[in-house]
Amino acid sequence: MNYTNQQLIDALVKEYEWLCHDDFNPEEDPTPEEYLDSIKDLSYDELVEETSIDDTFTLDEYMLTWGDVDPWNLRGRQPMQSVWKTMEPYPDEMFEEAERRERERQVLDNIERAIEIDKEIEDNL
């Protein structure tokens, strides 16, 4: 999907405001207004570069997260930040699920390593 410069600028400013929410240092960081001033005259390619997208986090995904556009029509016109605000503070279930998955991954890693060790022992016998 193609985006306008203004859509990219709006998304970049929203992302910057979110980043500044918890970690803003007025002595080092520009205000959101100053950040807007610094990007408002950038070319389309420079704006895309400013998003720091890559092969795993595409421009469409960036715009779905930060823009007021929905390239896949997944959420209507609701900005993703408003969804995040309803999740704060994060439910304990989210952390419990993440911890459970991490434990499962560790168990599987240990099993795979044990199988490798068994094979090494068999090969040396």
Q: What are phi and psi of 47, to 5 degrees?
A: -65, -45
Decide: residue 70, CB within 10 A, 0-12 exposed, 13-18 middle, 19+ buried: middle
Q: Running along the chain, 125 residues long, what does each successive block of 10 average in pLDDT?
A: 89 90 86 94 95 89 80 51 50 68 84 87 85
Identify the DSSP state of 56: S
Whether the ω angle into residue 89 lies within 30 degrees of 0, i.e. cis, is yes
CB burial of residue 124 (10 Å; 0-12, 13-18, 19+): exposed
29-65 pLDDT, tens per residue? 999 999 999 999 999 999 999 999 988 889 988 988 8
Is-contact 70 54, C-beta < 8 A?
no
* 3-state SS assignment for residue 30: coil
DSSP 55: S
pTM, whole model, 2 decimals? 0.56
To which residue do tokens 């420079």 refer?
A: 46
Separation between Cα atoms, residue 67 and residue 52, nearest integer Å: 15
DSSP state of 25: -
